[in-house]
């Protein structure tokens, strides 16, 4: 459901004793220049320096964005590093404070707020939330090494040299990890054991094979193999430490954040104009609206699909039965990828015909089977988009083929992604959802907005796009299509509700699973998986609904304000033109312009 991995904030943060900053406070004056630098010109220079420093302290985040200069750096997450980084951030904050924010362009004002939020949230993560103490799964060398190894844009030898240098500090890294852990949650400890065990596979035969066929010297190869052996050893020790010391000691904290921490994390992560409580209330209300709509449509569809049978007295049961019947209409196991491919031109044409927004024909979406190393995450379809540093690269729509799966498992998946839901999925992931949004975002000149891409805005747009299409007549306004959308949208709505219920209101697993299966019409297995996810993350589950609601509310607000002058196409295009910024800032900019 997510187009790109959201960068973790401070938790993965890099660090080193040397500050990269060139000159403490660049005046921005060039010798001999007669021009007086404007506030914006100075701010542009500040942003460039800020980003370079950011990458130096966060090499893994940089790598994920397509910036590979610091691939070989490994941050040792110890106390000394935390101090250095805090000092550096204090210095940047001071510098940021010298800019007259009101005199900057609207675009730069948003960048100013995004940098400010990053600095504030970094302090919150490090000093108050302190996830570095209670989440042992935050320590894992596997994913960052795999990311460099699979990187498409660097020659193999260069990637291998980066990895070799990076893992030369593996022992210090895991020693710091053990040192940091204090009263973790049981859930994150178990996750850390599983994930580090999985990560051992990254340092296995495939990597050794790459070394053998590389152009590295014999000396380099030998050093590299020794470092891999050490890395495996320290990872195994870390797993043993968690399994044989941490777990048996039984000194755990609850995975639930509680109201105070949840509210603040919501504030920093989502940057919404709504509070966590307001979103919770809105989601409750929306749930009731969806249920009413579903009951109405299911009652209308009943005679068509259950001719001669009387409707059950329980209206929820009737909804469930109609959904089950509609879900039988789906693609074949062998034809799944082809079914997705076939829908894309239809979506492109509909968006053009209805004049929903302008599409860029020079950036076609490439539908492909998900590459093997990306499979198995449970995401049937996802968009791989080029980052801000390699905008010219292709965008892929990865669809996982079902050929290899046992028939029963594939049938269950096909019922879930049936004739109707599959179309909604393609709208969400591709056109005019994530893919279209990312094409627009890459045109936005602000690197800051690309880097601090706001998850709630990105997911919110994709959910908004589904409703936009159906409201414009996609699917012929049929009860079938709307009923299935209601169910789909209910999932997003319940995600926001249960995140709050679990993290703030102390809800039990049984009550959550009951809610998801009853009001969400979900299978038992889906509901249980969702519970597990909600114990391991906080706030993220609420981002989809929050972004969607904010975008929809903004559209209503502008529609009301502009009356007959309101133009849907202009709204959509203007909304997308600001890059992946939080909706609250886009709202400010759009209200100023209107």
* Sole window of 1-9, 213-221, 271-279, 386-394 interacting with Zn ion (rule: CB under 5 A): 1-9
Residue 462 CB, nearest approach to Zn ion (Å): 4
3-state secondary structure of 382: strand
Segment interacting with Zn ion (CB under 5 A) among 88-96, 394-402, 458-466, 572-580: 458-466
**H helices present in 472-565, as ranges:** 479-503, 509-518, 524-536, 540-562
Among 395, 394, 413, smallest CA distance to 403 is for: 413
Evaluate whether 3 touches 438 at the Cβ level (below 8 Å): yes
Contact map string, positions 413 to 452, toward Zn ion, x by CB under 5 A: ----------------------------------------
Of 6 and 511, which CB lies nearer to Zn ion in the complex structure?
6
Cα separation, 63 vs 147, whole angstroms: 8
Beta bridge partners, 384, equal 396
Distance of closest approach, residue 465 Cβ to Zn ion, in angstroms: 10
| Number of residues in the chain | 594
Shorter beta-carbon distance to Zn ion: residue 459 or 466: 459
> Residue 420 Cβ, how far from Zn ion at the closest point, in Å?
18
- The distance of closest approach from Cβ of residue 223 to Zn ion in the complex, given in angstroms and rounded to an integer, is 42
Q: Kindly state whether residue 383 participates in binding Zn ion, applying the rule CB under 5 A.
A: no
Residues 6 or more apart from 509 whose CB is under 8 A from it?
Answer: 531
**Which residues have a Cβ under 8 Å from the Cβ of 567 and sit 6 or more positions away?**
none
CB-wise, 462 or 496, nearer to Zn ion? 462
1 binds Zn ion (CB under 5 A): yes
What residue number has its CB nearest to Zn ion?
A: 1
Select 294 or 424, whichever has its Cβ closest to Zn ion. Answer: 424
CB of 428 to Zn ion, least distance (A): 6
Sign (positive/negative) of CA torsion 303, 309, 313, 318? negative
Please identify, among the stretches 145-153, 364-372, 455-463, 514-522, the one whose residues bind Zn ion according to the rule CB under 5 A.
455-463
CA-based nearest residue to 496, from 464, 538, 466: 538
Choices 208-216, 241-249, 271-279, 457-465; region in contact with Zn ion by CB under 5 A? 457-465
Task: Please state, in angstroms and rounded to a whole number, the distance separating the CA atoms of residues 539 and 526.
Answer: 19
Considering only residues 10 to 29 of the shown chain, the ones binding Zn ion according to CB under 5 A are none
In sequence order, the 6+-apart residues with CB closer than 8 A to the CB of 134 are 181, 182, 183, 184, 185, 188, 253
Residue 85 backbone dihedrals phi, psi, to 5 degrees: -70, -40
Judged by beta carbon, residue 459 or residue 480, the one nearer Zn ion is: 459
From CA 558, how far away is CA 581, in angstroms rounded? 19
Which residue is it, tokens 């049938």? 411
**Is 542 among the residues that bind Zn ion (CB under 5 A)?**
no
Instruction: Please give the C-alpha separations between residue 10 and each of 42, 127, 131, in angstroms, as whole numbers.
Output: 27, 11, 9
Question: 111 vs 466, which CB is nearer to Zn ion?
Answer: 466
The burial class, CB within 10 Å (0-12 / 13-18 / 19+), for 248 is exposed
Which 546-565 positions form the footprint of Zn ion (CB under 5 A)?
Answer: none
Which residue reads 């209670």 in tokens? 134
Take residue 459 and report the two structure tokens written for it: 């997911």
| Residue 446 CB, nearest approach to Zn ion (Å) | 22
The smaller minimum CB distance to Zn ion, of residues 193 and 465, is found at 465
Minimum CB separation of residue 434 from Zn ion in Å reads 6
* Number of other residues whose CB lies within 10 A of the CB of residue 405: 14
Smallest gap from Cβ 1 to Zn ion, in A, equals: 4
Whether 290 and 486 have beta carbons less than 8 Å apart is answered as yes
Out of 13, 207, 357, 462, which residue is the one contacting Zn ion (CB under 5 A)? 462
> Least CB distance from residue 543 to Zn ion, whole Å?
10
Residue number, 388 or 433, with CB nearest to Zn ion: 433
Nearer to Zn ion by C-beta: 331 or 438?
Answer: 438
- In the complex, least distance from residue 533 CB atom to Zn ion, rounded to whole angstroms: 15
Residue 419 Cβ, how far from Zn ion at the closest point, in Å? 20
Nearer to Zn ion, 111 or 459 (CB): 459
Closer Cβ to Zn ion, 1 or 146, answer by number:
1
What residues line the site for Zn ion (CB under 5 A)? 1, 459, 462
């Amino acid at each position: 459901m997510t187009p790109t991995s959201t960068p973790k904030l401070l938790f993965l943060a890099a660090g080193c004793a040397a500050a990269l900053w060139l000159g403490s406070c660049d005046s921005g004056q060039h010798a001999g220049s007669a021009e007086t630098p404007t506030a914006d010109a100075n701010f542009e220079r500040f942003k460039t320096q800020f980003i370079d420093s950011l990458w130096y302290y966060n090499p893994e985040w940089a790598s994920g964005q397509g910036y590979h200069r610091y691939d070989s750096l490994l941050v040792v997450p110890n106390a000394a590093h935390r101090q250095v980084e805090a000092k550096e951030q204090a210095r940047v904050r001071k510098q940021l404070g010298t800019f007259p924010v009101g005199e900057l362009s609207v675009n730069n004002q948003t960048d100013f707020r995004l940098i400010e939020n990053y600095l504030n949230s970094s302090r919150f993560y490090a000093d108050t939330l302190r996830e570095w103490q209670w989440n042992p799964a935050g320590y894992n060398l596997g994913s960052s090494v795999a990311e460099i190894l699979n990187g498409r844009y660097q020659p193999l030898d260069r990637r291998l040299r980066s990895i070799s240098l990076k893992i030369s500090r593996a022992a210090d890294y895991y020693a710091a990890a053990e040192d940091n852990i204090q009263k973790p949650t049981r859930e994150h400890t178990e996750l850390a054991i599983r994930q580090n065990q999985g990560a051992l596979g990254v340092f296995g035969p495939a990597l050794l094979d790459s070394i053998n066929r590389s152009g590295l010297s014999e000396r380099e190869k030998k050093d590299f193999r020794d470092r891999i052996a050490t890395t495996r050893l320290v990872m195994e020790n870390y797993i043993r430490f968690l399994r044989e010391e941490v777990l048996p000691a039984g000194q755990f904290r609850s995975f639930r954040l509680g109201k105070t921490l949840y509210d603040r994390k919501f504030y920093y992560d989502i940057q919404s104009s709504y509070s966590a409580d307001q979103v919770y209330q809105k989601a409750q209300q929306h749930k009731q609206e969806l249920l009413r709509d579903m009951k109405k449509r299911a009652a209308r569809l009943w005679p068509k699909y259950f001719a001669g049978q009387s409707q059950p007295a329980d209206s929820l049961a009737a909804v469930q039965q109609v959904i089950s019947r509609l879900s039988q209409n789906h693609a074949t196991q062998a034809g799944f990828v082809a079914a997705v491919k076939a829908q894309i031109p239809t979506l492109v044409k509909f968006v053009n015909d209805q004049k929903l927004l302008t599409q860029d024909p020079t950036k076609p979406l490439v539908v492909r089977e998900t590459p093997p190393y990306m499979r198995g995450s449970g995401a049937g379809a996802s968009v791989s988009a080029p980052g801000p540093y390699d905008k010219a690269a292709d965008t892929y729509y990865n669809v996982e083929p079902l050929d290899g799966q046992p028939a029963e498992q594939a049938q269950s998946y096909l019922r879930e992604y049936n004739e109707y839901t599959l179309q909604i999925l393609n709208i969400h992931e591709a056109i005019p959802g994530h893919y279209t949004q990312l094409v627009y975002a890459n045109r936005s000149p602000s690197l800051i907005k690309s880097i601090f891409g706001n998850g709630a805005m990105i997911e919110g747009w994709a959910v908004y796009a589904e409703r936009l299409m159906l409201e414009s007549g996609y699917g012929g306004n049929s009860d079938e299509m709307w009923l299935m959308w209601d169910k789909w949208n209910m999932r997003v709505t319940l995600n926001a509700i249960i995140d709050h219920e679990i993290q703030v209101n102390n809800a039990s697993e049984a009550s959550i699973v009951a809610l998801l299966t009853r009001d969400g019409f979900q299978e038992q297995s889906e509901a249980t998986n969702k519970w597990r996810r909600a114990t391991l993350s906080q706030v993220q589950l609420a981002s989809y609904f929050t972004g969607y609601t904010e975008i929809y509310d903004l559209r209503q607000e502008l529609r009301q304000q502009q009356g007959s002058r309101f133009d849907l196409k202009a709204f959509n295009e203007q909304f997308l033109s600001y890059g992946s910024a939080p909706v609250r800032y886009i709202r400010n900019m759009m209200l100023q312009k209107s």
